[in-house]
Chains A and B, each alone.
Chain A
C-alpha cells in the first residue's frame, strides 16, 4: 500500500545552511498493518509524513501510495490517503457536518454516497448530537471526532497520522486509539508517528526507530528489543544518543 524508498529531505536555512532532516529512509506499510514511526522531537517524523501526504517534496528518493508516485501523481496520492495531525485543524465557523461535507465534496463524492457516508461515520463516532454545532464551540474530544470523520470521509486505504494523540486528554486519546484499531481491522494501512512508547507498544504491528532523520531499527517490537538488546523501547533512544556522542570528537 505504501512504499518509501531511499527518502532524503534537506531544508535550506538562511545563509544557505543546509539541514538534512531525513536521510535514506525506506520502509513499507501493508494493508491491515499499523506501522509506527517512533522518535523524539526533531527526529524527522513529521517531515516524512508530510512528504507521504505530498505537503513536502522529497529531495531524493520515492514514495508510492498504491501505484501512484507522490512526485507526479500527487492528486491521486491525496485521493488515497487520509491525513490527520495536530496541525490539521478545523474551520471554527463551519458546523461539524458542513466541515465533513466540504471535504467529501472536494473528494468528488456523489451527493447520495456522501450523505450515506456522513450518516455512517456520524453514527459510528457518536457525533449526531453535535453535527449542527460550529466547530469553534466544540470540546477537544468532539473536535477530534470531527477530524477523524474528515479523514475517513473518502474511505481512504491509507491513513497517515502524525502524533494524533499529542495534547489530548485520556478520553480524547481513546477516540483516536479506537479509530486506529477499527481501521486496521477494516484492512487499512496505517502509518502513525508518536513519541509515546506505550501507545506504540499497544498499537503497532511494526515500528521504525527514527533518530536524527535516519531509521536505525525496523521490525516488530520484540525483534527490535532483541536486536538492540534493550529491555524497554525508550532505552533505544538513550543508546542511540550515546553512540552518537561517542562518534563525535570532544
Chain B
C-alpha cells in the first residue's frame, strides 16, 4: 500500500459529506425519515392499538347462552359487579338449541357461547361437578381479549360455590390450599426498563446502522459509476486507497449520524410524553455515561464493518438498480444475528463474542442490563475491529480491480 495522504482523505470526505447533504434523497433517508417519520409511524401504530383496545373495552361483550338448566345462575353472575366494583358490559343472546349457538359463534353474531347442561341444579345439590362448555372461534382477534374476562367470572362463581360447600362442611378455604404462593419480584422498575431496552436497543442500533449506510454507499459508488464521476476522481492524484477511505468514512459518518438521530428522536418523543405508556418503563432507566461510551465504542467497528461491506457490494454493481438488489440480502443477513438480543436464554460467551453482529448485539445487551464482563467486551471489540479492517482491505482490493471499476 502506498503512503496515504491524510489531506486527500479529508478532502474527499469533506466533499462527499457536502455532496451527500445536498442530496434530497439522502436528507430524507438520513434525517427526515429517522427523526420524524419513524417515531410518528410508531406513535401512529401505538395510538391505533390503544384506540382499538379502548373501543373493545367500551363495546359490550356479546355472549350467547344456551341454559338447559333454566337456573339463570351463570347469566346473573355476569350482571354482578366484580371485587373492584366494576360492572362488565354484557349483552346476552339466548337460545335453546346448542347447535344454533355454535352457528351463531361461527357467524360472528356472538363472541363466545356458553352451554349449561340440564342437570346443573341437581349437581349443585349433590355437591358434584358440572361441565360448562365455552364455544368460541380462536381465529377471531377479539377472542383472546374477551376470554380471560369470561373465565374470570365463571371461576369466581365456581370459587364462591366451593367456599359455600366448604363452609357447610365446617372447613375453611385453607383445607384445599395447603400450600399458598406469594410472588416477590425483586426487579426494580429501573431494572425492568434496562431488561426491555437491553433487548430492543442492540437490535435497533445494528439494523439502523445498515439502513443508514446503504443509501450513501450506493450513491457514492454505483451512483457515481452511473453518472460518470467515478472516472473523474480516479484520474485525480488521489490514490485508490485514499478514495476508498474517503468514501468509507463518509458512509460510516452517515450510518452513525442517522442511527444517533433516530435514537435521539425516540428519546425526545418519550421525554415529551408522546409514548406515555412506554415512557413509564423507559424513562425509569438511566444509562450511565460510561455505558454509553462503551456502547458507542463498540458501535464504531460494527458500523465500520457494515460500511465496508456495503461499499464493496455497491462498487461491484454496474448500476444503482443492481446495487439496490444487493442491499436486501445484507439487511436480512443482519436482522437475524442482530435478533439474538431479543431471544431469551442466550448468554454472552467467548464463542459468541467472535461471531460478527451476534457479538455486538449481546455485548450491548450486557452493558445495558449491568451484567458487564470486561473480558467478553474486549474480545467483542477486538474481533469486530478485525472484521472491520478485513472488510476494508477487501473493499480496497475490489476497488483496485479494473474488471469491477469498468464493469459497465
The reply to whether the CB of A5 lies closer than 8 angstroms to some CB of chain B is no
For chain A, the bracket of interface size reads 20 to 34
Contact A87 B231 (CB under 8 A): yes
The reply to whether the CB of B33 lies closer than 8 angstroms to some CB of chain A is no
The reply to whether the CB of B174 lies closer than 8 angstroms to some CB of chain A is no
Contact status of A55 and B19, CB under 8 A, knowing A89-B229, A102-B11: no
Contact B236 A78 (CB under 8 A): yes
- Contact with A53, one of B22, B227, B235 (Cβ below 8 angstroms): B235
Contact A88 B237 (CB under 8 A): no
Interface flags, B1-43, vs A, CB<8A=1, else 0: 0100001100110010011001100000000000000000000
Contact B234 A55 (CB under 8 A): yes
Contact A150 B231 (CB under 8 A): no
Contact status of A88 and B236, CB under 8 A, knowing A56-B402, A57-B402, A93-B23: no
A81, A83, A103, A150: most-surrounded residue (chain B CB, <10 A): A103
Contact A78 B229 (CB under 8 A): no
B236, B402, B406: most-surrounded residue (chain A CB, <10 A): B236
Which of these binds chain B: A104-112, A179-187, A223-231?
A: A104-112
The interface residues of chain B lying within 8 Å CB-to-CB of A108 are 7, 237
The reply to whether the CB of A90 lies closer than 8 angstroms to some CB of chain B is yes
The reply to whether the CB of A79 lies closer than 8 angstroms to some CB of chain B is yes
Contact A88 B239 (CB under 8 A): no
Interface flags, A200-223, vs B, CB<8A=1, else 0: 000000000000000000000000
The reply to whether the CB of B228 lies closer than 8 angstroms to some CB of chain A is yes
The reply to whether the CB of B238 lies closer than 8 angstroms to some CB of chain A is yes
The interface residues of chain A lying within 8 Å CB-to-CB of B129 are none
Nearest-neighbour CB distance to chain A for B8, whole angstroms, equals 6
The reply to whether the CB of A94 lies closer than 8 angstroms to some CB of chain B is yes
B8, B234, B237: most-surrounded residue (chain A CB, <10 A): B237
Nearest-neighbour CB distance to chain A for B326, whole angstroms, equals 19
With CB as the reference atom, state the residue of chain B lying closest to A92: B227
Contact status of A88 and B19, CB under 8 A, knowing A56-B402, A56-B406, A57-B402: no
- Contact with B238, one of A85, A88, A90, A106 (Cβ below 8 angstroms): A106
With CB as the reference atom, state the residue of chain A lying closest to B22: A93
The interface residues of chain B lying within 8 Å CB-to-CB of A98 are 18
CA distance A66 to B23 in the complex (A): 41
A81, A87, A107: most-surrounded residue (chain B CB, <10 A): A87
The reply to whether the CB of A196 lies closer than 8 angstroms to some CB of chain B is no
Contact status of A94 and B402, CB under 8 A, knowing A78-B235, A87-B228: no
The interface residues of chain A lying within 8 Å CB-to-CB of B19 are 91, 93-94
Nearest-neighbour CB distance to chain A for B383, whole angstroms, equals 35
Nearest-neighbour CB distance to chain A for B58, whole angstroms, equals 54
Contact B231 A85 (CB under 8 A): yes
Contact status of A55 and B236, CB under 8 A, knowing A88-B228, A94-B18, A102-B11: no
The interface residues of chain B lying within 8 Å CB-to-CB of A89 are 227-229, 231-232
Nearest-neighbour CB distance to chain B for A22, whole angstroms, equals 13
Nearest-neighbour CB distance to chain A for B229, whole angstroms, equals 5
Contact A90 B237 (CB under 8 A): no
Nearest-neighbour CB distance to chain B for A90, whole angstroms, equals 7
Contact A75 B2 (CB under 8 A): yes
The interface residues of chain B lying within 8 Å CB-to-CB of A12 are 403
CA distance A53 to B231 in the complex (A): 10
Contact B232 A55 (CB under 8 A): no
Nearest-neighbour CB distance to chain A for B407, whole angstroms, equals 11
Contact A105 B11 (CB under 8 A): yes
The interface residues of chain B lying within 8 Å CB-to-CB of A102 are 11, 15
The interface residues of chain B lying within 8 Å CB-to-CB of A91 are 15, 19, 229, 232
Contact A107 B402 (CB under 8 A): no
Contact B231 A106 (CB under 8 A): no
Contact A88 B23 (CB under 8 A): no
Nearest-neighbour CB distance to chain B for A91, whole angstroms, equals 6
With CB as the reference atom, state the residue of chain A lying closest to B400: A57
Nearest-neighbour CB distance to chain A for B236, whole angstroms, equals 5
Interface flags, B323-356, vs A, CB<8A=1, else 0: 0000000000000000000000000000000000
With CB as the reference atom, state the residue of chain A lying closest to B7: A108
Contact A83 B237 (CB under 8 A): no
CA distance A92 to B237 in the complex (A): 21
CA distance A236 to B232 in the complex (A): 33
Contact A79 B231 (CB under 8 A): no
CA distance A53 to B12 in the complex (A): 20
With CB as the reference atom, state the residue of chain B lying closest to A75: B237
With CB as the reference atom, state the residue of chain A lying closest to B225: A87
Contact A106 B237 (CB under 8 A): yes
The interface residues of chain A lying within 8 Å CB-to-CB of B235 are 53-55, 78, 81, 83, 88
Contact B11 A106 (CB under 8 A): yes
CA distance A224 to B214 in the complex (A): 54
Some 7 contacts from A to B, beta carbons below 8 A apart, are: A56-B402, A88-B228, A91-B19, A93-B23, A102-B11, A102-B15, A106-B8
Nearest 6 pairs of A and B residues by beta carbon: A89-B228, A93-B22, A83-B235, A88-B232, A106-B236, A87-B228
